Chain A
Amino acid sequence: MSRIATALTIADPEGFYAELLAVHDALSPEASAALNARLILLLANQVGDRAVLSEALQEAARGSDTAG
């Protein structure tokens, strides 16, 4: 049974997306990767639910292979 949200939960999705890109502006690939790592840890702690995190990891690991 799916635990992760598949429907939109973020108010102002376009604004969030723009903000997400903005924090990476002018960063080197290494600095971007470091920022992403910090962001993932902060968000993961915010989510907390271990099963949701596992499902999100598996979903992300599927990458672009959406048929998988």
Chain B
Amino acid sequence: MQHDEDPIRYPYRRVADQDASHPVRHPVVVAGAGLVGLVTALDLAGRGVPVVVLDAGEGVSAGSRAMCFARRSLEILGRLGCAEAAVAAGIPWHAGRVHHGPDVICGVEHGPEAGQRRPAFLNLPQAQLEAILVARLRALADAGAPVSLRGANRIIAVGTHPDHVRLEVETPEGPYSLHADWLVACDGANSSVRRMMALGFPGRGYEDAFLIADVAMDSDAPAERMFWFDPPFNPGRSALLHRQPGNLWRIDLQIGADADAAAELAPDRVLPRLRAMLGGQARFTVESLAIYRFHCRRMERFVHGRVLFAGDAAHQVSPFGARGANSGIQDADNLGWKLAAVIAGAAPELLESYNWERGLAAEENIQAAARASDFITPRSDASRAFRDAVLTLAGRHPFAREMVNTGRMAEPCTYDDGPLNGPDAAGLPGRTRPGAAAVDVPCAGGWLLDRLPQGFALLAIDADAPEAGLPVLRLGSAGHGALAAAWTGAGGGVVALLRPDGHVAARWHTAAGTPTPGDIAAALATAGGTS
């Protein structure tokens, strides 16, 4: 592949596999070159695992897709070398504003801003982020990494075997067969891999339809997440307006349970709706338009032998809270190092922890999305009465503002009681407990996440780490208040065992004694690592 190729396109090219007399075997095939498939491929390639990505299309996604990326996603993209480009292209934001009828009832802070390296959220159209990931993947391939992306390669049959998966792939020049030691299915909510394997996707659908529009419009409105309940321009329903780069605005209008998608998409229906919302003076052009009804559902298991499901293929939520793409990126972050370890000889049971940990995250996300959907689209007269009561009280009573739910914005899942968690110690901050994602803070030499060694590592703050065959990042908290606040307690230092995805596996408070090499070896074994 060449650098100068357009990163929004990956046109079909014939590959040697198509001319082989027997199906060529690959360690990992990723189905789908959406965000989750691309992040999975970059993560695995960064760990030296050869990856082939197959996509039915020949370019990045079109239309109104994901657009809001949370800090944790940016941290993961940072590890993959893509955060700077994403932040440069996107619109950072952290505040929201909620309207009820004609009034603003409250502002909302979505996460702290001070002392953070990355914005709480970054708005960037999915297609633009995919293009950044494709460019990065090509750069890795140019540098010799065994990673490739095949456009117009549609998987049309999946044969599962105890030690491999057989794939039939349709191309413009006819079909060919591939063998994969592992198949990662990142092929979206309508996953064809899931369908071909006859696996269920149970959950709940919502009756209300929403009109999703991206419009280009000159406006100096702030980059805030603007939410309306019962606005004059959409009585009895909700609306959302959110800024994207390049004077593009995302509009999300509830249009009711009885909406007829074909009729609602007609210009004589759409344009009056948008004009009513944006104001008669607004000059705008419609870039994309769709009608959606939402679902909250998940596969019972994400691991099926040699086939691993990630992202929307495995779980789907309503969009309020930006939990779709963000949780998919975290799936890839969680799966990559585990799959690399299993390929390098670790017991395949490690993949069960992917099922457990990301299953927990899916449950959290589905619960949060379901609660937001129930608030935004009340299911009954009683639920509407309570929703309206919350909104009425919120203007005067701070407690009621906390109940206003326009979508609780995505926070990374903490894998409490997870199968990989080792010992915890009393007296240390809750947000860096075992199972939590490492909190990025300034430290000597830059930012903590940048300074963490790849793979399993020990973080020793104000403490001596024992020799355990692991790389150690030694830091002092003096002069680094945020580091102390996030990681240390009173009367001693902390030693933390960090996983390759940056989650805390175990920690020790040296006030209660420094961990022994045996303590660390035991925690490492529990966490699925080898020294």
Contacts and interface: CB of A to CB of B under 8 A. Distances in A.
A5 B217 CA distance: 58
Contacts of B388: 34, 37
Contacts of B389: 34, 37-38, 40-41
A41 B388 CA distance: 11
Interface residues of B, number: 13
A38 B400 CA distance: 10
A54 interface: no
A42 B385 contact: no
A20 B392 CA distance: 20
Contacts of A36: 385
Interface in B383-406: 385-386, 388-390, 392-393, 397, 399-400, 403
A33 interface: yes
A33 B381 contact: yes
A45 B400 CA distance: 9
Give the interface SS of chain B, mostly helix, strand, loop or mixed.
Answer: helix
Interface residues of A, number: 9
A34 to B, nearest CB: 6
Interface in A20-68: 33-34, 36-38, 40-42, 45
A5 B322 CA distance: 42
Contacts of B382: 33
A48 B382 CA distance: 22
A45 B399 contact: yes
Contacts of B386: 37, 40-41
Contacts of A41: 386, 389-390, 393, 400, 403
B378 to A, nearest CB: 11
A42 B381 contact: no
Interface in B414-466: none
Nearest to B389: A37
Nearest to A37: B389
Nearest to A41: B389
A34 B382 CA distance: 9
A16 to B, nearest CB: 21
A34 B385 contact: yes
A37 B389 CA distance: 6
A37 B403 contact: no
Nearest to B400: A41
Contacts of B393: 38, 41-42
A38 B397 CA distance: 11
Contacts of B385: 33-34, 36-37
B392 A38 contact: yes
B117 to A, nearest CB: 36
Instruction: Select the residue from B381, B382, B389, B393 with max chain A CB neighbours within 10 A.
Output: B389
Nearest to A44: B399
Nearest to A48: B399
A33 B389 CA distance: 10
Nearest to A45: B399
A19 B357 CA distance: 53
Contacts of A45: 397, 399-400
B40 to A, nearest CB: 40
A36 to B, nearest CB: 8
A38 B391 CA distance: 10
A25 B381 CA distance: 21
Nearest to A36: B385
A36 B382 CA distance: 10
Nearest to B390: A41
Contacts of A34: 385, 388-389, 392
A13 B322 CA distance: 49
A23 to B, nearest CB: 14
A40 B385 CA distance: 11
Contacts of B392: 34, 38
A33 B339 CA distance: 55
B341 to A, nearest CB: 41
Interface string B356-393: 00000000000000000000000001100110111011
Interface of A: 33-34, 36-38, 40-42, 45
Interface of B: 381-382, 385-386, 388-390, 392-393, 397, 399-400, 403
Given A37-B385, A37-B389, 19 more contacts: A33-B381, A33-B382, A33-B385, A34-B388, A34-B392, A36-B385, A37-B388, A38-B392, A38-B393, A40-B386, A40-B389, A41-B386, A41-B400, A41-B403, A42-B393, A42-B397, A45-B397, A45-B399, A45-B400
10 closest pairs, A vs B, by CB? A37-B389, A37-B385, A38-B389, A45-B399, A37-B386, A33-B385, A41-B389, A34-B385, A38-B393, A41-B393
28 contacts: A33-B381, A33-B382, A33-B385, A34-B385, A34-B388, A34-B389, A34-B392, A36-B385, A37-B385, A37-B386, A37-B388, A37-B389, A38-B389, A38-B392, A38-B393, A40-B386, A40-B389, A41-B386, A41-B389, A41-B390, A41-B393, A41-B400, A41-B403, A42-B393, A42-B397, A45-B397, A45-B399, A45-B400
